[in-house]
């Protein structure tokens, strides 16, 4: 092969590397420092701000909905060109309903609009949406399958930590999961954080294999929920005889 041909071949290879690696390099350069996990407390910091609990009696029984200020998203690790990093994406498009009866969480369904999850890179977000096929499967859904004892949440100043079993559905694939929940009063409401470990392949998410980037096969689904009580319907007025 002539010297000129070798230069041409080298230029073509370099161009291919730039085309393939470019989006990942842009994503890494724009990533900055990953935010801490969603939670009521973060290492080295005081508890997340909450409203001052009402000094009056607090009964957790009732129906609760996910309110303003709630967040959910993902967290996973990657290695790009030998450099380790953590990727985080989040959204506030979270909805759901929880029901507490006799001090037990008996029903919970949380839905996240996956197409709205955003990280520090638009390029990465586009790739994420393609992998999850968010145009076909727009929701990720957690459903509680076993009751959870919440005894003491109405009295504690510190968060109550419990394990909740349920199912997580991503891309129309449903898997059993266990989520570690922390809950505490926040004014007249309740603040709940949770983390669900996931393995991408379990949900049919097959990460691209590239020589310059390695994505860990598992990650975490995170959520921080600001729960608001649904007012009970007033009792009907007695009718006159």
Q: Of the ranges 10-14, 80-84, 210-214, which one carries the lowest mean pLDDT score?
A: 10-14
Paired sense of beta strands 218-229 and 71-80, if any: antiparallel
Please give the mean pLDDT across all residues of the chain: 80
Tell me 210's DSSP state.
B
Contact 223, 72 (CB under 8 A): yes
Q: Of the ranges 67-76, 83-92, 173-182, which one carries the lowest mean pLDDT score?
A: 83-92
Over pLDDT 90: what percentage of the chain? 47
Residue 235 has a pLDDT of: 56
> For 114-209, where are the E strands, in sequence order?
139-144, 148-149, 160-170, 173-186, 189-199
How many Cβ atoms sit within 10 Å of the Cβ of residue 36?
Answer: 13
Band of the pLDDT at 15, cuts 50, 70, 90?
very low
Is 208's pLDDT higher than 80?
no
Distance CA 58, CA 159 (A): 15
What tens digit of pLDDT does each residue of 24-57 get?
A: 444 444 445 778 888 874 433 434 455 555 555 6
Which residue matches tokens 């100043």? 157
Residue 49 has a pLDDT of: 53
Q: Of the ranges 52-56, 151-155, 219-223, 233-237, which one carries the lowest mean pLDDT score?
A: 52-56
Three-state SS for 142? strand
What tens digit of pLDDT does each residue of 164-196 get?
A: 999 999 999 999 999 999 988 887 888 999 999
> For 23-132, where are the E strands, in sequence order?
62-66, 71-80, 83-91, 94-101, 104-113
Paired sense of beta strands 83-91 and 104-113, if any: unpaired
Going by C-alpha positions, the residue among 203, 199, 183, 69 that lies closest to residue 141 is 203
> In CATH, which of 2.40.128.110, 1.10.150.120, 1.10.3720.10, 3.40.50.150 is domain 3-35+59-229?
2.40.128.110
Three-state SS for 73? strand
Band of the pLDDT at 78, cuts 50, 70, 90?
confident
For the chain, the straight-line distance linking the first and the last C-alpha, in angstroms and rounded, comes to 106
Q: What is the mean pLDDT of residues 128-134?
A: 91
Which residue matches tokens 């009718």? 239
User: What are the phi and psi torsion angles at 159 (to 5°)?
Assistant: -60, 145
What six digits make up the tokens of 25? 């390099």
Residue 55 has a pLDDT of: 52
Domain residue ranges of the chain, discontinuous segments joined by +: 3-35+59-229
Residue 90 has a pLDDT of: 95
């Amino acid at each position: 092969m002539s010297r000129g041909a070798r230069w041409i071949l080298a230029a073509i290879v370099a161009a291919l590397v730039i085309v393939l690696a470019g989006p990942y390099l842009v994503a890494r350069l724009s990533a900055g420092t990953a935010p801490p996990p969603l939670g009521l407390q973060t290492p080295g910091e005081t508890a997340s701000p909450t409203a001052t609990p009402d000094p009056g009696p607090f009964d957790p029984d009732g129906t609760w909905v996910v309110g303003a200020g709630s967040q959910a998203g993902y967290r996973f690790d990657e290695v790009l060109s030998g450099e380790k990093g953590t990727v985080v994406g989040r959204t506030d498009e979270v909805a759901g309903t929880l029901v507490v009866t006799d001090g037990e969480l008996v029903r919970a369904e949380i839905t996240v609009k996956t197409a709205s999850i955003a990280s520090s890179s638009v390029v990465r977000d586009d790739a994420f949406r393609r992998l999850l096929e968010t145009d076909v499967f727009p929701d990720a859904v957690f459903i509680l399958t076993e009751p959870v004892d919440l005894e003491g949440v109405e009295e504690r100043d510190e968060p109550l930590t419990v394990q909740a079993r349920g199912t997580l559905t991503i891309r129309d694939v449903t898997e059993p999961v266990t989520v570690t929940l922390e809950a505490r009063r926040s004014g007249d409401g309740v603040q709940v954080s949770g983390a669900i470990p996931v393995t991408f392949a379990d949900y049919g998410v097959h990460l691209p294999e590239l020589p310059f980037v390695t994505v860990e096969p598992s990650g975490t689904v995170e959520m921080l929920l600001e729960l608001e009580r649904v007012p009970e319907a007033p009792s009907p007025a007695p009718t006159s005889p």
